[in-house]
């Protein structure tokens, strides 16, 4: 996990009142057109993620996403971080919704063994691991993600028909 990732992750859990300061700092950093520095610091590995952050199309997606996120200020992004970093276990454990976890085997934020543990706790959950991928595989290999989601929907349709 990079220093930036640790800072955000630990702040969400242990010091949530710091999130507004971190988000505003990130906003200023990105608005100064320093996306490359931000990406290099936030995604220092694995190699697939590092290469993805150098792609102009991915930089454009991130820049547009950041700009759109911050159009109304920083509150929405602060809320997203706090919700994303919350403990979702009670919801997931009680959900009867078919669930698939898509995970890159080299994701530095969430080690595979932790994701495997989570998957075994969620009723009916399936884990799909993409070998040698990090966090950003959804950006540089969207066909993997959409293929899995389409398969999950197809399974749901077939179940309804029987």
DSSP symbol at 114: H
Is residue 19 within 8 A of residue 12, CB to CB? The reply is yes
Residue corresponding to tokens 């969400």: 12
Q: How many Cβ atoms are within 10 Å of 72's Cβ, its own excluded?
A: 9
Going along the chain from its start, the domains and CATH numbers come out as 3-84 (no CATH), 89-161 (3.40.50.1820)
What is the model's pLDDT at position 154?
A: 85
Residue corresponding to tokens 């959804």: 138
Regions in the chain scoring below 50 on pLDDT = none
Dist. CA 139–CA 144, nearest whole Å:
10
Q: Is the pTM of this model over 0.75?
A: no
Is residue 127 within 8 A of residue 103, CB to CB? The reply is yes
Dist. CA 8–CA 71, nearest whole Å:
21
**Assigned token pair, 68:** 């759109």
Dist. CA 44–CA 42, nearest whole Å:
6
Dist. CA 139–CA 61, nearest whole Å:
9
What is the model's pLDDT at position 1?
A: 64
What is the model's pLDDT at position 23?
A: 83
């Amino acid at each position: 996990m990079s220093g930036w990732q640790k800072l955000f992750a630990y702040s969400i859990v242990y010091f949530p009142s710091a999130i507004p300061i971190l988000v505003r700092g990130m906003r200023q950093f990105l608005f100064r057109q320093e996306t490359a520095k931000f990406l290099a610091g936030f995604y220092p590995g694995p190699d697939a993620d590092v290469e993805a952050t150098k792609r102009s199309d991915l930089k454009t997606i991130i820049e547009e996403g950041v700009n759109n996120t911050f159009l109304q200020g920083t509150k929405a992004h602060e809320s997203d971080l706090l919700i994303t970093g919350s403990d979702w276990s009670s919801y997931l454990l009680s959900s009867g919704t078919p669930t698939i976890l898509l995970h890159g085997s080299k994701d530095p934020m969430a080690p595979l063994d932790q994701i495997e543990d989570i998957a075994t706790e969620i009723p009916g959950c399936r884990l799909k691991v993409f070998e040698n991928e990090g966090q950003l595989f959804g950006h540089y290999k969207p066909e993997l993600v959409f293929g899995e989601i389409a398969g999950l929907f197809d399974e749901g349709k077939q179940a309804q028909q029987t």
